[in-house]
Each structure stands twice: as C-alpha cells, then as structure tokens.
Chain A
Amino acid sequence: MRIVIGEDEALLRQGLVHVLGHTGHTVCGAAADAPELARLVAEHEPDLLVTDIRMPPGNTDDGLRAALALHRGPAATPVVLLSQHLQRRYARELLAERPTGVGYLLKQRIADIATFVADLERVAAGGTVLDPEIVALMAARARLDDDAFGGLSPRQQEVLRHMAEGRSNAAIGRTLGVTEKAVIGQISRIYETLGLPPTDDDHRRVLAVVRYLAG
C-alpha cells in the first residue's frame, strides 16, 4: 500500500516513515505542512493518507481540513487522522459526508505497531476505524442522552462500540467470548432497533456506527 504522511514534528515523521516502511508498505511522501500534504497527495495519488490534525501553516486544524478536502475530493483518498487529543466534533466531521475509508486515532496508538498498521490497512480498504477512547466517549454520551441508543441492551452497545472501532465480527466474538454467529445476531437486532433499512450489510454497519457516534 502506498502512503503519504503528514506530520510537522521531524522525529515523529521519521518514526512513522520507518515503522510503515518496515511493515511492507511504501511511504511515497512525507509532508511537514498542509499545503505540501495536498501537493504530495495530488502528485502520488496514494492508497492512504496518514496525517496529524494540528499542522502548519495555521497550527490549528490545518491537517484535518486538508485531509477532509482530499477525502471528499474526486480521488476520495482514504484518510487516517492522528492527534494528541480526540474530539467528538472531529469524528463527526470525518464521518459526515463519506463515512468510509476514514480513521481517527490517538498518536500514541502508533506505538502498538501491529494494531496500528492493521487499522491503516482496514481504512485503506474502505473501512472505518475510530480510536477506542473516542468511541468510549461517544458511547458514554449516547448512554447519557435519552435517545434510540437507550433501547439497546448493554451487550448490544458493547458490540456497537467494537463495530465503531472497526473490529470484524470474528474479532468482536473473540473479545466477548461468544461465537461469530451470536455477534451477527446481536448486530441484526441493533439494525432493527436503530431502524436501519435492510440493504448492503457493509453500508448498514457504517450507518449504525455513524448514527451511534454522531448523537
């Protein structure tokens, strides 16, 4: 997989290039600011863009805005956002228009190399990956707010949380100590509770997550 990196801290940029290069992927460009990021993506048309949110020149959310523009553009470049602090608002914006091929992770997750690289691959393949911390935050809010999610059982909410983190049914089953079939059963009841139309399963999966998180 061909990856473009956006990170203004030189040491971390090199660390990312190193980690990804050693896991069989090609880093075809590493940008230190938002305009360079846009230029490198246009030039290399990568399979994935991994970028910091806070970047020069504005040092606010320049990386996020550049990434969103690229993700919503004609190339629909899959995007993984990295940040020192997670906000529900950013997750919502990321999922708003095209909730596939997006990821939002704490920078610290890079250290768990295997999980991190697996998450990147899932996003490049069109999946949705959210940091467990932001999922926990959103789940807590969803529980506190009296809405459709109140109708979900604790177990269903747990399953939904794992879905939002981008885990497969088999992986969820392993974590919860149940069969994959049981997980699939829970998921279809979740769809029912949330009133999602029976269409393509992947689409419904993303919709459930988006609805869950946007609340």
Chain B
Amino acid sequence: MRAGPWSLPARTITCQGLIMPLGRTPLSRSLAGALVALAAVFGVLGLVTVALVLPTPGPRGAYVGLVVIAWAYVAAGVVAWWQRPSNAIGALLVAGGGAWSLAALANTQVPELIAVGAVAATTPVAVLVQLLLAFPSGRLRGPAARVVVGAAWVTVLVLQAPGYLFVREPAPYHLLEIADRPDLAALGGLAQRVVGALVVVATVVLVVGRLRATDRERRRVLLPLAVYGLLAVVMVPLGAAVADLVGLDPTTLGVVQIVALAGVPVAFVTGLLRGGFARTGEIEELATWLGGADGRPGLARACARALGDPTAQVVFWLPGTERYVDAEGEPAQLPAAGSGRAAVEVELGGRRVGAIAYDATFLADPEPVAAAGRVLALAVDRERLVAELRASDVALRRSRLRLVEAADRERRRIARDLHDGLQVRLVLLALDAQRFADDVAPELRDRAVALRTGIDDAATELRGHVHAVMPAALVERGLAAATEDLVDRVPLPTRLDLDLEDGTLPPAIESTAYFVVAEGLANALRHAHARSLAVRVVATRGTVSVEVSDDGAGGAVNGMRGLADRVGAVGGSLVVDSPAGGGTRVSVELPCGS
C-alpha cells in the first residue's frame, strides 16, 4: 500500500509490561481543568455575542446560528482534546470554534466588533480545509497539503481584505475603510473567488487521492466524512446560489446551512473517536508515552525524560540472588560514592524492586528522583520480571560456557599429566629394556628387545589417546596447526581451506572448533562411504566458521548431539545438511568476540 497521509503508524507496538498513564493522574486532571475553562470561556463569549446580535435587524436566527456553530466546534474540540490529548484535531476544532465566534461578531452593532467579524468572516472555511487535510492525525503531511492550507489561509485573511478596506459602507460598518476604491474591492473579490476555487479543487484532489490510498475499512469512515466536509466548504460561498437554483427560501437555507455547518465538527469528532481511529489514537498515546518503539527500554527513557537527566538508568533488584541487573539481565552495579553519580532505591509495597541511578552533579536533591521512583514503582516491578528472566538466561548461558571451559581445562590437565608423566616413564622403561637387552646373554636378548618394542607399542597407543584427549598441536600452536595435523591423518583425499591466525582465538572457541572438525571427519570416515572430504576453517571479524563436508551417502541423522550442545554452550550454531545421496555438510558458526 502506498503510504498516503492517512496511512497510520504501525499498529503493532509491543507493550512490554508497561503501565499506561491512564486514569486520574495529576496531568490528566490539569488537562481536564484547562478544557473546562476553555469551554466556559467560549460559552460566555457566545452568550455575550448572542446578546449583542439580537438588536441587529435581519435574520436573527442566522445570527444566533453562527454562535451555535461555534459552540458545536468548541464542544466537539474539547471532547476530542480530552479523549486524545496528543492528537491535534481537538485543538483544530476549538480553533474552528474561535473562527466562527469571531465571524459571528460581524452581526453586532459595535463598530470594533463588526471590524473583527469582517476580518474573520471567511476564516471558518480555512479551518475546514485544514481539518479535512489534517484528519485523522491532526498534522498536515506532505508539502501539497501544507501549500493548500497555506493558500486557504491567504484567501481568507489577505484576499478578504480589499472587501473591507476599499468599500464605502455606512456606520457602524465603516471602521476598516481606508479608501473608496470599488475597482480594488472588485479585483480583490475576484482574486479571492479564483484562489478560493483553486483551493477547493486542490482540496478535493488531495482528499480523493488519500481516499484511494487508504484501505477499505478506513475508507468506509473517511469517504462520507470527506464528502460532507467538502460540501460544507463549497456551501459557504455557494450556498445562496444553490438555494436560488433549487428555489429554497432564505430562512430555510439559513437553517440548513447552520445545521450542516454545526454538524461538521460533530462528524469529525465522531469519526476520530468511533470511526476505527480510536485504536490508532491509543497507540499514538502509548507511543508518545514510550517515546517511540525504537527498542530503547521505555522505562529508562521515560525516567530519563522525567528527570531531565539523559544518563538516568533504571536497574532491577533480584531478591533471589540479592543483586541488581539491567534490562538485559546483565549484572549492574549501583554507582559508588564519590563517582559523581548516585542512586535512589525504588520500593513497591515496602519491598525493594529496583533503583534509579542518576547524575548527582546535575540533580543535587534526590527527592525528584525518589518521586519518579514512586511513580514508576509498579512499572519497575513488572519490568523486573523480564529482567529476572533475562538474568537467569544469561546465568544459564554462562554456566554452560563454564562447564565447557572446565571440561577443556580438565582435558588439558590430563593430556599434560600424561605427557609429563606416563609418556616419559614409557620412554625410560623402553630405554632400560634396551640397555638390558644390550647387557644380557645373547639367548635372552631377543626377549629383552621384544619387551622394549612391546613398551614402544604401548607408548604408541598412549600417544593416540593423548592426541584424542587434547592434541599437542592445539596446545602448542592453535586451531590452524591442529586442524592441519588432523587432516594429515585422514586416509582419504581431503581439501583443507584454512584462513585464520593461531593465537588469536579464545581457548574454548578454539577447542570447540577443533572437536567439530575431528568429529565431523570421524563421522564422515565411519558412515559416509565418501571418496573425498573437505574441511574449511575461516575466522572473520567476530566469527569462526567451520565446515566439514563429504561426497558420501548423506542421510546422516543427528549423530552430533554432544557436539551441538558444546557448540551451543559457547554461543554458536550447528547445522547438519545431509540429503540422501547428496553428501553431508556440517557447518558451525562460533562467536570469537574479537
């Protein structure tokens, strides 16, 4: 779908155990008060206007009707503002109420108020255009919409001016006249009609374009609203002509116009609240509170913003292990005394749930931090559970790694003990046996030499075991040398592709990679009926890739459980690709954290 101005923000915002700031918070009470005051002001202003227009001769119903329209706008605006504080439609509707209120003043008998009314006479049309183009977010999106709305305001404010500046009128309508220039007034009127018509056409084009770009569900709501709004826009300047055409008497026309125009804000606010945009509004509220769904922990962000300290951190208390962790579950330390940072504990129902660390050089007084902590306590407690889960995951991962490292250390120790102990003993024993053979009578010599070669055979066997436990090449040089040594002993043509430097990898990664190659080759030789093998070990930035492949029978089913566990323990991944008849490929990726 093309991203039209009415396309809405992503609907899927994950809400990670956060408490929405609904209900009667101090902020919402303050908003409610302000809106009540606003409504009261417009109510009183409207009553004053009514009182002032009643003495004016002419269609008094229409005069009062304008005030009714203004009230309708303000009422709808206040409702929208209260329900969707972060959506600008409410404010726009209230502004529309203001425009109608000012326009209504033209029907009083007070010259100054008449002048104000003359200036504002057509501003409701501009508000209506802006409403149409800003719905439902309240913001104008795209340069075209901004240009059209700008032109609308120019039409109603600037091009309106010649109509009162250059026309001679009797008192009390004379206040704004600066010259009697009917020609200029006519020119201004023409310009206003032309530009106004262009604005209306452009608005229709934009609205139709947006309707086409939106999905069906929303179009069902938006289409009647757009038609109604556009008709209202057109009706203001063209109403009289239309009435003439269909033979409507002026009184009926006035009633129809007033009802229609007063219905506009009601239609908009109904559309906003009930027309499928309610959810969008809520998500926008949530997103505003979260500061966007960009992945940064909402709690820390909200806290940092509330305190005005971008370095503020929220850490979570794990009662089981008596320590703090961050949102990722990694152990966290509270700032030490004298570090320039300080921390305030967050408690919920008398139990510690976390702490807020902040920059003590900016916030000398811990009380605002403690206050933020009290507000956030419930959210901190909820977030704490996630952090706890992550911490136990981190702990599990580390413990698996430690097990692998401990096993490797043990292997190294056994290999070293055998190398320094038993292997040396066998050399010396064989040496003694040979010396004995050299010394004894010839008839015993053969038996003594046999003893020596027997010891040599035992030594050969032991060498094989030591090699399997922890190969000398891995201990003395590293993965590249050990892999090469391994491949050298494969009794099949084996391609070796090595790209790494020994002495750069962590021991656990190195030995894991080695055992992958060793077991991969052993499996291939045992089961695959392969004709040739290939080994590839490549270290790139942060990763070691190990691949053992053969051209054998394939169809290998997980014979590598232990190896997969080992790979998983060091944070790597193992994939065995073994289609029947298509050879086997064992691929392992290990993180080497360089």
Contact = CB atoms under 8 A, between A and B. Distances in A.
A141 interface: yes
Contacts of B459: 108
A67 to B, nearest CB: 14
Interface in A1-56: 9, 11-12, 15, 19, 53-54
Given A54-B472, A108-B426, A144-B493, A87 B485 contact: yes
A12 B491 CA distance: 34
Nearest to B418: A84
Given A110-B431, A111-B433, A9 B420 contact: yes
Overall SS of chain B's interface: helix
Interface in B281-340: none
A107 interface: yes
Contacts of B456: 108, 111
B472 A12 contact: no
Interface in A143-170: 144-146
Nearest to A62: B476
Contact of B431 (A9, A87, A111, A138): A111
A172 to B, nearest CB: 22
A113 B423 contact: no
B484 A88 contact: yes
A145 B419 CA distance: 32
Interface size class of B (residues with CB under 8 A): 35 or more
A108 B427 contact: yes
B421 to A, nearest CB: 9
Interface in B458-495: 459-460, 463, 466-467, 471-473, 475-477, 481, 484-485, 488-489, 491-494
A183 B454 CA distance: 32
Contacts of A9: 420, 424
Contacts of B476: 53-54, 60-61
A12 B424 contact: yes
B427 A107 contact: yes
B471 A85 contact: yes
Contacts of A61: 476-477
B473 A89 contact: yes
B564 to A, nearest CB: 29
A87 to B, nearest CB: 5
A214 interface: no
B280 interface: no
B430 interface: yes
Interface of B: 419-420, 423-424, 426-428, 430-431, 433-435, 438, 452, 455-456, 459-460, 463, 466-467, 471-473, 475-477, 481, 484-485, 488-489, 491-494
Given A15-B428, A85-B473, 5 more contacts: A11-B424, A84-B419, A85-B471, A89-B481, A145-B493
8 contacts: A11-B424, A84-B463, A84-B466, A87-B484, A87-B488, A89-B477, A108-B426, A108-B456
